[in-house]
Amino acid sequence: MFRTSIQATERLEKDLPMRPGKVERREFEYIRDGTQTLIANFDVATGKIIEPNCGDSRTESDFLLNISRIIESDRHAKKWHLIMDCLNTHQSESLVRFLAQKEGLNIELGSRS
């Protein structure tokens, strides 16, 4: 779901156009304008990307917002199957509480110690 640290770069010089028998030439030096984080969700059934988001961070709240957008994108869906890696934001307390509330679980989840 995540692709982190995508560099936002800008070339110092314009690309040189192709000439007959020559390929386009690109200057190797660039200006780094920072990084962005892409959160994208691949729907394996349709092959489409759903609810992508590009931002400055990949915090717990960014991921929680992404999951809530996925769920809201199809209110008729009865079940979602999400496959993720073990990144800390994928296992956050706020995510567990959000999903428990969505499923109507009214059990005491304890607190972070």
Q: What is the pLDDT of residue 86?
A: 85
What's the pLDDT score for residue 112? 65
SS3 93: helix
Question: How does residue 9 score in pLDDT terms, banded at 50, 70 and 90?
Answer: confident
Model confidence at 42: pLDDT above 70: yes
Instruction: Indicate the range of 57-61, 72-76, 85-89, 93-97 predicted with least confidence.
Output: 85-89
What does the pLDDT read at residue 98? Answer: 92
Question: What is the model's pLDDT at position 67?
Answer: 94
**Tally of residues, the chain:** 113
User: What's the confidence (pLDDT) of residue 106?
Assistant: 80
Mark out the alpha helices in the chain (DSSP H runs): 60-73, 93-102
The yes-or-no verdict on residue 63 having pLDDT over 90 is: yes
Is the model's pTM score more than 0.85? no
Q: pLDDT tens digits for 19-37?
A: 888 888 888 788 877 778 8
Whether 16 contacts 7, CB under 8 Å: no
- Please, what sign has the CA dihedral across residues 6, 52, 97, 103? negative
